[in-house]
Amino acid sequence: MKRRLVEFVSDAASWLNRILPKRDRVLIQGYPNIEPSAVEVANKVVELKDIKVYYVVSGKSPDRPDKLLHPEIKTVRRESLSYFYFFLTSKYIFFTHGAFLKKLSSSQVVVNIWHGLPYKKIRKMVGGEDLVADYTVGTSYPTKKIFSESFGVPEASVVTTGYPRNEQLMRAQGNRDKILSKADPTLLGFKNLMIWLPTYRKNTVGLRREDGQEIGNPFYIKDFDVEHFNKKLREENSFCIVKPHPMAIKYHNRSLSNLLFIDDQWLSQRGITLYDLVGCTDFLISDVSSIILDYLLLDRPILCVSTDFDAYGNTRGFYFQDIENWIPAKVCRNQQEFFIEIEEVVFQKRDLYQEKRNELRDYFFKGNKNSTEDLINIIFKNGAFKR
């Protein structure tokens, strides 16, 4: 009964969307509220174009984009009727996680600035529906096919401008002291600053699914010895920031002397995005998250730890069959391997994967330094792509 009601509302909204006139304005929707690409696009549109920009904010998420958005940008609450009005009557729509309508008006220009490279299987590759959009943002010519297959869109509609969020990543290199001072000034005093960004296994938002194995802690390492990890960090004058995925199950996370747990609310309160912070770090720790690919742009060492790597491949699956050849790091499959790797890579500075990182960077990224401006110019110059 509930499913039928949802389908009826969706069909009715799609019908309204086809007949309602569109106004010359931009609506931008990301998840979480401070999703880096969404923030970057919103601010750049205001800078470049004389057009009203509306930014969607969900009241269900505690992070707020106020300190990150240009003052001329107006926010629209996701849970309000105003949101539906603006969605159905705005000419330009940008989103990072898809739209609530299956069918969009041909009078609208719809842009998919997806929240990650399809490193693992996504959308159509895991049985989902097409994600209709006039333009889908890719990062290089080889990725056009990947995005096309993942979202069910023509390759010609995939534009290789690169992700807007990666401009924040690159800018952060020249603003490190300023960003870290906003985040926490004590972070400036450490020899090594790393960030740990795991993906989720069992999501708490959207369609429920479980990929790999839910271990029972935010590190996804069974019986992880966090005290030992913190001790090693302290001995080496190093610090690790851990940010669980916003869709992941929330555990009771206890920060220690050299280990800090953060979330999107923590970031928004300090007026920075995740990619601002990531760009300031010396090392990345992750598992199967596509943040590994974005981090290639910094040419800094990556540690990959995934004790359920094979189980994840068997459930969610990866886009590339020989996935380990597409990972710029040794895949640590247990706690012991992880501690050996962090000793060698971080504390002993043995970087054995630089050549691999550069190879993958050249495949996934074409080196565009003005991704957001180029994307906006394409959208406003060409209008809707024939769909």
Model pTM above 0.85: yes
Q: What is the DSSP string of 147-178?
A: HHHHHT--GGGEE-S--THHHHHHHGGGSHHH
Domains (range + CATH), the chain: 2-162+368-382 (3.40.50.11820), 167-364 (3.40.50.12580)
| Angstrom distance (rounded) from CA 133 to CA 112 | 6
The token pair at 368 is 């565009």
Residue 57: phi, psi to the nearest 5? Answer: -125, 130
pLDDT in tens, the chain (387 residues): 656 666 777 778 888 888 889 999 999 999 999 999 999 999 999 999 999 999 999 999 999 999 999 999 999 999 999 999 999 999 999 999 988 887 788 899 999 999 988 888 888 888 888 888 999 999 999 999 999 999 999 999 999 999 999 999 999 999 999 999 999 999 999 999 999 999 877 776 666 677 778 888 889 898 899 999 999 999 999 999 999 988 878 887 889 999 999 999 999 999 999 999 999 999 999 998 999 999 999 999 999 999 988 888 888 888 988 999 999 999 999 999 999 999 999 999 999 999 999 999 999 998 778 999 999 999 998 765 554
